A and B are shown apart, each in its own frame.
Chain A
């Protein structure tokens, strides 16, 4: 840019001048706008005076028209200025295009010189490249030969390997087949053996079961026989025990009866001692007193169950029982039970 400016100082000066003029015009143009709105905004409060509306309207119309004309004149002036500016702009653009053309031409010449030099350099390089390529081609050929040889060798080796593999596969297949056959044969043998074993085992089991059943039956019979014998023995024993028990019970009963007898005698004595008959009771009286004793021999209840007909006599009998309490009681529970409830028959004469 600076280089361009230095090369075209006049053009620049012109351009600057044009710009300055335009700027000046723009600044001046701002103050052309009417200032009526400023007065309207700050209008002091007016005294309301009735005026003629028609005169006001006419005045308003005149003012509006004057403002419109003023605006039209300003627009025309502005348009003229725009046209002048446009003209200057177009001239400046033409100048710029010309300057660009010159610059382009200078660039073309420099490019051509550079191209020639590059062309020479390219020719040298091409040669060197061709030589290099030649060298490379030779080497490639040699490598190609070598690779072919290697490929052939590889091919041969591969073929050989394939043959070997085929052979091996055949051998393997054969071996597998043989093995399979062998396995099958063995499996068959094994199965047969297993079946045989199973059959034998079943037979054995059956035999054993039969034997066991027989044994058990024998044992059961034996056991039953033993049990029967035992039961009989037990029954006999129990019978004996029962007999003994019966005997014991009888003995016990006798003992109980003896004890009861003894205690009856003792009770008799005690009640007799405590019996105070009313004096002068008539002869031939007799009454029966039912007595309930508690284990200690104390009288729980004593009541007349058969009266003598003489209340004093009856009362004396009941009183005798109470007065004799506690009555002697046997320690043997059976004997005691027999003595829990009984009757006294009171008769003065034996």
Chain B
């Protein structure tokens, strides 16, 4: 009897222990390393005559790599070249420790028309995450590839991809000492497919996108003085919105697109003004003997940040769109300028100068910590991607300005495809209308 009792007790104890352990066993995993997720993007198959007009797989892989979130396998490391799901041997990809696999193919469906099909797989679980078939025209293939990158990015990160967006920038092609060709260009987010929307023999500066991506505001010296223009990107129609004596510069569309912040020196020192685009009403926002310039809107449009040297050196300040006192945001180093606000309003990218080295830095508005994300030495004009994951900026490379991107954390930096001439003042456009 007693024995049985003990046995019962023992077993109950074991069972409880086991059950308890079952429920309680939680292994803590802390640390890890931030890094790009391994992914394999297999070159897309091609069913059509001639050469595939656009290497879709390559465009996607480059997009993903540029984001800093993904580390696409080099082509030579691919263990297979499947183009559809049923051709995939997951085990072989597991061995490579890649989390995800992208396969696809392009089919010609007519003269200059195609269907692009792709599938994204979870390699470890051996299942498809997404798969689409997208029709495209020949000139659209790159755009479709970026769109696919966005879909993949969104599936894997939960954030909207910003690959299928456009960037604007200014090129200065110096033909001779007195002859420089300035162009305002718009290109895909990877720098490909550039289109000139304005050409001038006089400097063009500070392009800024309207929130709907249909217009660009910029400064042109075409009339041998600075003027602010707003131009329809598609039609090329434009108008002068600011043509005041002195400096007319650094336009910035408000998030609702109805207002344009700008720097004017018509009243003395350069200050920040806000122009109501529909009424033409101009309102002075800052009134300070120092230089206030490079305004950028905070999300929601209630506040703006700008550069001011009122504290001695250029630093970033924040001010209400209704005016009032400005609050200094940057304190590290003696040069912080050219702010770009992240879409979530949590970070501000700036040009951070320190000891003659100018780098892009990101200020965490919550912690106040400033972290450099680019190497320098002459980086300028940071511009957040519309999803906040990357920053586009101009860097000096080989004695000329080129475009570069860096991930928000600074882990992945990459120069974009080289444009003609000296490239400066890039601005990353908004998401395309959905």
Q: Is the CB of B26 within 8 A of A343?
A: yes
Q: Are A322 and B125 in contact (CB under 8 A)?
A: yes
Q: Is the CB of A311 within 8 A of B30?
A: no
| Nearest Cβ on chain A to B365's Cβ, whole angstroms | 13
Chain B residues with CB below 8 A from A267, complex form: 27
Interface of A is mostly: helix
Given A246-B6, A268-B27, A311-B157, also A280-B32 (CB < 8 A): no
Residue of A whose beta carbon sits closest to that of B35: A276
Partner of A249, one of B10, B30, B94: B10
Asked whether, in the complex, the Cβ of B29 is within 8 Å of the Cβ of A279, the reply is no
Q: B18: which A residues are within 8 A, CB to CB?
A: 337-338
Interface contact B32-A277, CB-CB below 8 Å: yes
- Of B31, B38, B69, B94, most buried by chain A (CB within 10 Å of CB) is B31
Known contacts A278-B37, A338-B21; is A346 also within 8 Å of B26 by CB? Answer: no
With both beta carbons as reference points, the residue of chain B lying nearest to A311 in the complex is identified as B158
- Is B36 at the interface (CB under 8 A from chain A)? yes
Bound-state CA distance A320–B26 (Å) is 16
- Mark contacts of A303-344 with chain B using CB atoms, 8 A cut-off: 1 yes-contact digit, 0 otherwise: 000000011100111111011010000000000011101111
A255 at the binding interface (Cβ < 8 Å): no
Determine if B2 and A346 form an interchain contact, defined as CB atoms under 8 angstroms apart: no
B412 contacts A279, C-beta separation under 8 Å: yes
Query: Contacts A342-B26, A343-B25; is A280 near B125 (CB within 8 Å)?
Result: no
Please measure, in the bound complex, the distance between the C-alpha atom of A168 and the C-alpha atom of B411, giving whole angstroms: 155
B11's closest neighbor in chain A, by CB? A249
Q: Does more than half of chain B's interface fall in helix, strand or loop, or is it mixed?
A: mixed
A154–B225 Cα gap in the complex (Å)? 204
Q: Name the A residues within 8 Å of B10 (CB-CB).
A: 242, 245-246, 249
Cα distance A260–B411 in the bound complex, in angstroms: 37
Q: Is B26 touching A239 in the complex (CB atoms < 8 A)?
A: no
Interface residues of A in 206-259 (CB under 8 A from B): 235, 238-239, 242, 245-246, 249, 253
Answer yes or no: B308 CB below 8 A from chain A CBs: no
Q: Give B175-194 interface residues, CB cut-off 8 Å to A.
A: none
Q: Given contacts A239-B2, A312-B158, A319-B124, is CB(A276)–CB(B27) below 8 Å?
A: no
Report the separation of the CA atoms of residues A317 and B29 in the bound assembly, to the nearest whole angstrom. Answer: 9
Please give the distance in Å from B385's CB to the nearest CB on chain A. 12
- CB-CB under 8 A from B125, the residues of chain A are 322
A275 and B25 form a contact (CB under 8 A): no
Q: Hey, which chain B residues are within 8 Å of A312, CB to CB?
A: 69, 156-159
Is A344 touching B6 in the complex (CB atoms < 8 A)?
Answer: no
Known: A239-B2, A315-B156, A345-B26. A350 touches B31 (CB 8 A): yes
By the criterion CB–CB under 8 Å, are B26 and A276 in contact? no
Residues of A within 8 Å of B6, CB to CB, are 239, 242, 246
Known contacts A310-B158, A343-B26; decide if A279 and B36 are in contact (CB<8 Å).
yes
> If A235-B2, A242-B6, A310-B158 touch, does A280 touch B407 (CB 8 Å cutoff)?
yes
Hey, which chain B residues are within 8 Å of A337, CB to CB? 18
Contact mask for chain B residues 148-170; partner A; CB cutoff 8 A; 1 contact, 0 none: 00000000111100000000000
Interchain CB contact (< 8 A) of A275 among B32, B156, B159: B32
Interface residue ranges of B46-91 to A (CB < 8 Å): 68-69
Q: Which residue of B lies closest to A234 (CB)?
A: B3
Tell me which residues across on chain A come within 8 A of B14, comparing CB atoms.
Answer: 249
Given contacts A338-B18, A338-B21, contact A278 B157 (CB under 8 A): yes
Residue on A nearest B124 in the bound complex, by CB:
A322
CA distance A252 to B345 in the complex (A): 57
Report the Cα distance A7→B104, complex, angstroms.
170
Instruction: Assess whether A297 is interfacial by the CB under 8 Å rule.
Output: no
Tell me if A288 is interfacial: C-beta within 8 Å of chain B.
Answer: yes
Question: Quick check: A278 and B30 within 8 Å, CB to CB?
Answer: no
Q: B21 near A238 (CB under 8 angstroms)?
A: no
Give the docked Cα–Cα distance between A320 and B28 (Å): 13
Q: Which residues of B contact A339 (CB under 8 A)?
A: 25
Give the shortest distance, in Å, between B400 (CB) and chain A (any CB): 29
Q: Which chain B positions have C-beta within 8 A of A323?
A: 97, 99, 124
CB distance from A242 to the nearest CB of B (A): 5
Contact assessment for B411 and A345 in the assembled complex, using a CB-CB cutoff below 8 Å:
no
Contact B407 A268 (CB under 8 A): no
Question: CB-nearest residue of chain B relative to A271?
Answer: B29
Chain B hits for A88, CB < 8 A: none
B7 touches A279 (CB 8 A): no
Check A299 for interface membership: any CB of B closer than 8 A. yes
CA distance A311 to B407 in the complex (A): 18
For the complex, what is the distance from the CA of A275 to the CA of B31, rounded to whole Å? 8
Q: Closest chain A residue to B3 by CB distance?
A: A238
Complex CA distance for A277 and B3, rounded to whole angstroms: 54
- Residue-by-residue, is B396-412 near A (CB-CB < 8 Å gives 1, otherwise 0)? 00000000000111011
Q: Is the CB of B36 within 8 A of A235?
A: no
B408 with A279: CB separation less than 8 A? yes
Partner pick for A348 among B2, B30, B97, CB 8 A cutoff: B30
Q: What residues of chain A lie closer than 8 Å to B69, measured between beta carbons?
A: 278-279, 312
Say whether A272 faces chain B, with CB atoms less than 8 Å apart.
yes
Q: Is A67 interfacial (CB 8 A cutoff)?
A: no
By a CB distance below 8 angstroms, the chain B residues around A347 are 28-30
Check A320–B29 contact: CB distance below 8 A: yes
Is B17 in the interface zone, CB < 8 Å from A? yes
Q: Which of B21, B156, B158, B389 contacts A280, CB < 8 Å?
A: B389
Q: Determine if A278 and B3 form an interchain contact, defined as CB atoms under 8 angstroms apart.
A: no
Against B, the Cβ 8 Å flags (1 = close, 0 = not) of A78-91 are 00000000000000
A349 within 8 A of B: yes
Q: A278-B37, A323-B124 are in contact. Are A272 and B408 (CB under 8 A)?
A: no
Taking a contact as CB atoms closer than 8 A, the residue among A315, A342, A349 that contacts B25 in the complex is: A342
Chain B proximity of A258: nearest CB distance (Å): 13
Tell me the smallest distance from the CB of B146 to a CB of chain A, in Å: 19
Going nearest first, the 5 A-B pairs with the smallest beta carbon separation are: A311-B158, A275-B32, A322-B124, A312-B157, A342-B25
Identify 21 residue pairs between A and B in the complex whose beta-carbon atoms are under 8 Å apart, listed by A's number: A235-B2, A245-B10, A246-B10, A260-B25, A272-B31, A275-B32, A277-B33, A278-B69, A278-B157, A280-B409, A310-B158, A315-B37, A315-B99, A315-B156, A322-B94, A322-B124, A338-B22, A342-B22, A342-B25, A342-B27, A345-B28
Q: A271-B29, A347-B30 are in contact. List 7 more A-B contacts (CB 8 A).
A: A245-B10, A275-B31, A275-B32, A312-B156, A317-B29, A338-B21, A344-B29
